[in-house]
Chain A
Amino acid sequence: MNIKEMLEKILKDLRAVGDVDASAIVSRDGLLIAADIPQNINAEAFAAMTAAMLGAAETATSELGKGVPDRVIVEGKEGKIIATGAGSKALLVVMTNPKANLGLVLFKIGKASDKIKEVLK
């Protein structure tokens, strides 16, 4: 298995959690590394924006002297977007349906993020 296939496998396993609709691994600087995303979404733009979002959140909190946030959660009527770091090079972003069991999803995201960190090391 090459690295890309490993990363895609991690995302596929995440999807199996049930409440997860889509997910992507994005470099900290906004490049799409791997994705499990429906065709109709502009994945590259989504990746760039997610990196900006997490990057801006991290900068904002560190300006406050509050350290680095664990994740950014965006809640909407149509669903949630959760972005979290996955090692120093990448981040993981997940889209769930609005009724998702957040506790379970966050737990799975944490596990996936650790795996991604290992694979990209």
Chain B
Amino acid sequence: MSIKLGIPVIDDVIDIPTGKVVTYCVDPEVEGDVFLMQTLHENSEKCKCTLVITNMSPMVARNRFKEFGWNINFPIVDAYSGLVGDLSNEKYVVKDPSNAEELSKIVEDAIKENDLVAINSLSTMIDLCGERIVEYFKSWGKLATINNSVLVVNFVAWPYDEKIINAVKACSNAIVKIGGVHHRVIIGQYYGLVKVDWTEVKKKLILFKVIKPGGVRAYIPKILVTGPYNAGKTTFIHAISNKAVSVDRLGTTVALDHGYVEYKGFTIDIFGTPGQERFDPLLKMLGGEAFGVIVVVDSTKPEDFPRAKEMLEKTTKFGLPYVIAANKQDLPNALHPEEIRKRMSLPTNTPIISMSAINGEGVYDVLDALLKILLG
């Protein structure tokens, strides 16, 4: 048996076997408890789950889930009401959450009776009971192993003693780090697996956005779509986007296209450029900070391939990943992708994907090909 965390990209990389402890290690500046909630939502229909809460009332917790369009249809371990003197009618109640023995005993019951126990949060427990709770945490992990259940905890990495932080990390079989980034003009949030002790995985950090309703989405702030005039860039962007706007005048794009794509747990902003040379200053201006490039070519127009190659070189000179979309494959005189590779003298490992943007055929294959390189 194993479970999924319900987090985009991470789910493609690992399953969590039973008996493991997974820690969401959250920078204090980021609101990261949505990750734990999303993991519960992912599993609540599939196995017996419970949520231990120490930092909000059951009612507030239920409302938090509702904001994302999710329901709490599993029992709650209420380690909050006792603290503020409220009565509780949850399945599991900790009368005095600052009493480590009592708290631990009830968490142990929860582990014995459930397949997935989510704790929100271990850091509040440390604040309430002191650092000896980390010793208990260690024993909960062992109990989870014996009972074939999974323990998922939220840990806000306040500036605790190094010793505590290291102990928490050591007790975790997997750690997902969630933090803030400020790199040039990208001010956002990222997550990534930083530890997995039972298998080899590539460690990769992923930007994300939180959507309500919806939850965590991996986020790509910019994919650039470029290519010669009339190749089908605007058509392609509208075909893959949930929402798209274009500044088209006299039948052609004069400023840019912008598309918003929700796909496979990702949200992606797509920028399309005009094709004519007279707009190249804009290309340079708007091409910055792209994560990847899609070059659209009209497969029936080999005379435009040199221009496509030029645009490719203008936008990818910093080693950006790119794919070629061989558009208008519905037309009888369309060249085969391999023929295009030859004529554009592209390396053999460059993906060239057949597409007919106007019919929507192959448009997601193009996106998949680029995502595959991006996630390498």
Contacts and interface: CB of A to CB of B under 8 A. Distances in A.
Interface stretch (B34-42, B95-103, B280-288, B359-367): B280-288
Contact of B185 (A2, A27, A44, A45): A27
A4 B245 contact: no
A49 B258 contact: yes
B372 interface: no
B182 interface: yes
A33 B184 CA distance: 10
Q: How large is the interface on B (under 10, 10 to 19, 20 to 34, 35 or more residues)?
A: 20 to 34
B159 to A, nearest CB: 15
A81 B285 CA distance: 21
Interface stretch (A10-18, A50-58, A71-79, A105-113): A50-58
A56 B284 CA distance: 11
A27 B289 contact: yes
B185 A33 contact: yes
Interface in A28-67: 28-31, 33-34, 42, 44-45, 48-49, 51-53, 55-56, 59
A34 B287 CA distance: 20
Interface in A69-119: 89-90
B115 interface: no
Contacts of A48: 256, 258, 269, 271, 286
21 contacts: A2-B182, A4-B187, A27-B185, A27-B288, A29-B286, A30-B222, A44-B258, A44-B260, A44-B269, A45-B258, A45-B260, A48-B271, A49-B247, A49-B256, A52-B282, A55-B282, A55-B285, A55-B286, A56-B282, A59-B281, A89-B184
Interface of A: 2-4, 7, 27-31, 33-34, 42, 44-45, 48-49, 51-53, 55-56, 59, 89-90, 120
Given A44-B269, A48-B258, A52-B282, 4 more contacts: A4-B187, A31-B221, A45-B243, A120-B185
